[in-house]
Amino acid sequence: MTGGRRDSPLLKSNGGGRNSRIAVAILIGVIFGCVFAFFFPHGLFVSTSAAVDSIAYKSDLLINISSCKSSERINMLKSEFMAASEKNAELKRQIKELTAKLRLAEQGKDNAQHQVLVMGEQHKAGPFGTVKSLRTNPTVIPDESVNPRLAKILEKVAVKREVIVALANSNVKDMLEVWFSSIKRVGTPNYLVVALDEEIANFCGQNNVPVYERDPDKGIDIIGRTGGNHAVSGLKFQILREFLQLGYSVLLSDVDIVYLQNPFEHFHRDSDVESMTDGHDNRTAYGYNDVYDEPSMGWARYAHTMRMWVYNSGFFYIRPTIPSIELLDRVAKRLSQEKAWDQAVFNEELFFPSHPGYDGLHASRRTLDFYLFMNSKVLFKTVWKNAQLSKLKPVIVHINYHPDKLARMKAVVEYYVNGKRDALESFPDGSN
């Protein structure tokens, strides 16, 4: 009757809303009654007016049905109807306000409860310099029912409930071979390839590489088989969820990465996400205060901004916590709705704070040492040309900044594993 307001849950329980709806209903009934009375004075009149009479007493608008033939009365009804409409609009506005207030109150309640859940009992703050906030969130209770087959595989493959995971289709077969050879070389047993097609599954089988073939899933499978680098990158957020639900920490790894040490000896395990960075020095990797200059503002010409190079979504260690799983869900959801680069979305979800109309994620994060978890810009532009830095032995090198990935991966193996000091010389800093 008062169409379009059913969306508000408050309407059902709010007295003001019900009254206004009844008032409008009665008015409409009365007007119908008048119309029928006018056109069918002997026919429908009796039953309609009886029906209206039976509820008319509930209303504060007392109207004599049989007098509605007079135009004076009709005008009065009209003005009363207008007044009621105005009242109705006012009530609707109040409902809107109350709904918003209620929603806020509920959110506040949820937040408070959530905080108590996470932090346990309330405490008094200790003396200056002794307080520490929480960054290590509790892990979820493992739920094997989400994927018993994967649970079995992980029981065998994982070490201390940790595992390296890479997604691969046959487009990246050659890189995958360099990838798993390097992992075998450093003696890290806990790694698993999620095979996105038969060829890769067989290839892993032949090479004694732990492999997991997913159950058929149309949407994922088409991208998995035919997708390019970025499309496959987006898939991992969906696939990783089950690993976390099963209670495992995952080192998500692209395949354009060479392992030179066991990575699990280099994590802090204090944050939801520990990620390698696209940064190339202390500032760009770990964050800095970037001053923006607007001379026309005179005295206030300098605006300070917080800057950091993005996390690399092709290599991150993620603990099985609620914020971690929420991160995966948020990124997967956005990637399914917009045409966006998964790495940009991953960073936006990790870093943007809550603001009007948006609840931020607030997961804890740690940037990995950019000399140990080295991107290819750092290696090819700086490190190998510097006498001191070239003595460092990274944990991994990720060929993220260069398109000739396979050739550079092999050169990295030559340089760090086989000690060929000139192995990197022939490669330009960039991709020219």
Name the residues that contact ligand NAG, by CB under 6 A. Answer: 64, 66-67, 282
Smallest distance from the beta carbon of 324 to ligand NAG, in angstroms?
Answer: 27
Q: Which is nearer to ligand NAG, 53 or 425 (CB)?
A: 53
Contacts with 289 (C-beta within 8 Å, 6 or more apart), sequence order = 304, 305, 306, 307
Smallest distance from the beta carbon of 67 to ligand NAG, in angstroms?
Answer: 5
Q: Which is nearer to ligand NAG, 13 or 64 (CB)?
A: 64
Smallest distance from the beta carbon of 68 to ligand NAG, in angstroms?
Answer: 10
Q: Which is nearer to ligand NAG, 66 or 336 (CB)?
A: 66
For residue 252, list its beta bridge partners: 165, 316
Smallest distance from the beta carbon of 287 to ligand NAG, in angstroms?
Answer: 12
Smallest distance from the beta carbon of 277 to ligand NAG, in angstroms?
Answer: 13
Q: Which is nearer to ligand NAG, 10 or 77 (CB)?
A: 77
Q: Which is nearer to ligand NAG, 67 or 226 (CB)?
A: 67
Distance CA 368, CA 286 (A): 9
Smallest distance from the beta carbon of 379 to ligand NAG, in angstroms?
Answer: 17
Q: Which is nearer to ligand NAG, 66 or 107 (CB)?
A: 66
Instruction: Please report how many Cα atoms fall inside a 13 Å half-sphere around the Cα of residue 212, on the Cβ side.
Output: 27
Q: Which is nearer to ligand NAG, 237 or 370 (CB)?
A: 370
Cα 369 to the chain's mean position, in Å? 25
Q: Which is nearer to ligand NAG, 324 or 367 (CB)?
A: 367
Q: Which is nearer to ligand NAG, 81 or 371 (CB)?
A: 371
HEC-encoded secondary structure of 261-321: CCHHHHCCCCCCEEEEECCCCHHHHHCEEEEEECHHHHHHCEEEEEECCCEEEEEEEECCE
Distance CA 234, CA 245 (A): 19
Sheet containing 373-375: which strands, arranged edge to edge? 257-259, 396-398, 373-375
Distance CA 431, CA 106 (A): 53
Q: Looking at this protein, which amino acid is placed at residue 322?
A: I
CA distances from 5 to 1, 8, 9, 11 (A): 10, 6, 9, 8
Q: Which is nearer to ligand NAG, 64 or 296 (CB)?
A: 64
Smallest distance from the beta carbon of 353 to ligand NAG, in angstroms?
Answer: 26
Q: Which is nearer to ligand NAG, 55 or 105 (CB)?
A: 55
Smallest distance from the beta carbon of 62 to ligand NAG, in angstroms?
Answer: 7
Contacts with 212 (C-beta within 8 Å, 6 or more apart), sequence order = 150, 153, 192, 193, 194, 195
Distance CA 357, CA 289 (A): 27
Smallest distance from the beta carbon of 382 to ligand NAG, in angstroms?
Answer: 11
Smallest distance from the beta carbon of 66 to ligand NAG, in angstroms?
Answer: 5
Smallest distance from the beta carbon of 28 to ligand NAG, in angstroms?
Answer: 20
